[in-house]
Amino acid sequence: MAMVLSEGKLWLRIIELKKELDAVIMAHNYQRPEVQDIADVTGDSLELAREATQLDARVVVLCGVRFMAESAAILNPSRTVLLSEGTAGCPMADMINIDNLRQWKSRYPNATVVCYVNSSAEVKAESDYCCTSANALKVIEAVPNDEILFIPDRNLGHYVSTKTDKRIILYPGYCNTHHRLTMKHVMRAKQEYPDAVVLVHPECRAEVIALADAALSTSQMIQYVKDSSAKTFLIGTEEGLVYGMQKDNKDKTFHAISKVLICPDMKKTTLEKIAETMEFRKNVVVIPEEIRLRAKRALDRMLAIA
């Protein structure tokens, strides 16, 4: 049942529902501006996962994609986690399932599996360690094995492989949104803003990363622009990040490198969807206990390292 309310009324209803449910709203940095504004917490995948272990609220409304809500549920079994929009998934996470992973593990039986958090709970449960884009190198360096099977993002895995002496076996997954960004897009943007600092996400292609000043997770980018004395930035990740950067740094200017940088799943959440999800207690994330415990082990190992 769709809720037809003006934006102001939706806002007020969500605030009421937060009290009624004893809920906290967490939003990823890629969410729509109004969703970031109503959230209690915004962050990258690592911050949201970490924050999820510190919560007092009974209900967590996760505005992002499914794997993020699953991470919150895995780490917080005593809380109810609601995904803001039930169909919001991550196409890259869907590029690997347990059967694919088991096949790859049997091809590389001596490798330790490091799994990017952009993956299902089942895949995490079948992995040794998790990592995010903010800590992938740190996790890989801490693993007591020189052979790593890195899943599912080949671009992040390749980027990390250029920074370590370990043997990194790459699984062929990728993010449709970041992979669409090409050298041409970056060069065109650099021509338009020659003085701009270029920041890209490590989910981008290697040749795009090579043209950038730094490859960083979304929150690392936020910290970078805050600390930098530069005035203009070209941002090579989902365009939602530009909103928060501009809001917090009024003396600086931010441009998404290209209009192709839109993740359709991240954009599925609206204020209306949040209100509806909370009103009807929809999209509860349920993970079988046996899977949750094994997935938690991989996430806990990451949190202990990073």
Report the interface residues with ligand SF4, using CB under 6 A.
65, 90-92, 118, 175-178, 203, 238, 263, 265-266
Identify residues 250-289 at the interface with ligand 13P (CB under 6 A): none
> Across 154-213, where does the E strand assignment appear?
167-170, 197-200
Instruction: Pick the closer one to ligand 13P by CB: 44 or 70.
Output: 44
Q: How far is the CB of 234 from ligand SF4 (least distance, A)?
A: 18
Q: Which residue is nearest to ligand 13P (CB)?
A: 44
Closest CA to 66 of 29, 46, 91: 91
Q: Measure the CA–CA gap between 284 and 84, rounded to whole angstroms.
A: 9
CB of 117 to ligand SF4, least distance (A): 10
Cβ neighbours of residue 21 closer than 8 Å, sequence gap 6 or more: 58, 59, 278, 281
CB atoms within 10 A of CB 153: 30
> Is residue 118 part of the contact set for ligand 13P (CB under 6 A)?
yes
Residue whose tokens read 């490590």:
202
Q: Minimum distance between the CB of residue 203 and ligand SF4, rounded to whole angstroms?
A: 6
Which run of H or of E encompasses 219?
A: helix 218-227
Candidates 10, 175, 199, 225: give the one binding ligand 13P (CB under 6 A): 175
Q: Give the nearest distance from C-beta 15 to ligand SF4 in angstroms.
A: 27
Q: How far is the CB of 38 from ligand 13P (least distance, A)?
A: 19
Closest by Cα among 114, 179, 106 to 148: 114
> How many residues bind ligand 13P, per CB under 6 A?
11
Query: CA 151, CA 170: separation in Å to the nearest integer?
Result: 7
Dist. CA 277–CA 256, nearest whole Å: 30
Instruction: State whether residue 249 is helix, strand or coil.
Output: coil
Considering CB distances under 5 to 8 angstroms, the limit depending on partner class, which of ligand 13P, ligand SF4, none binds residue 296?
none
Q: Which is nearer to ligand SF4, 77 or 264 (CB)?
A: 264
Query: In this complex, which beta carbon is closest to ligand SF4, that of residue 17 or of residue 43?
Result: 43
| 10 versus 90: smaller Cβ distance to ligand SF4 | 90
d(CA 97, CA 284): 22
Q: Which of residues 183-212 bind ligand 13P (CB under 6 A)?
A: 201, 203
Footprint of ligand 13P (CB under 6 A): 29, 44-45, 118, 132-133, 175, 201, 203, 217-218
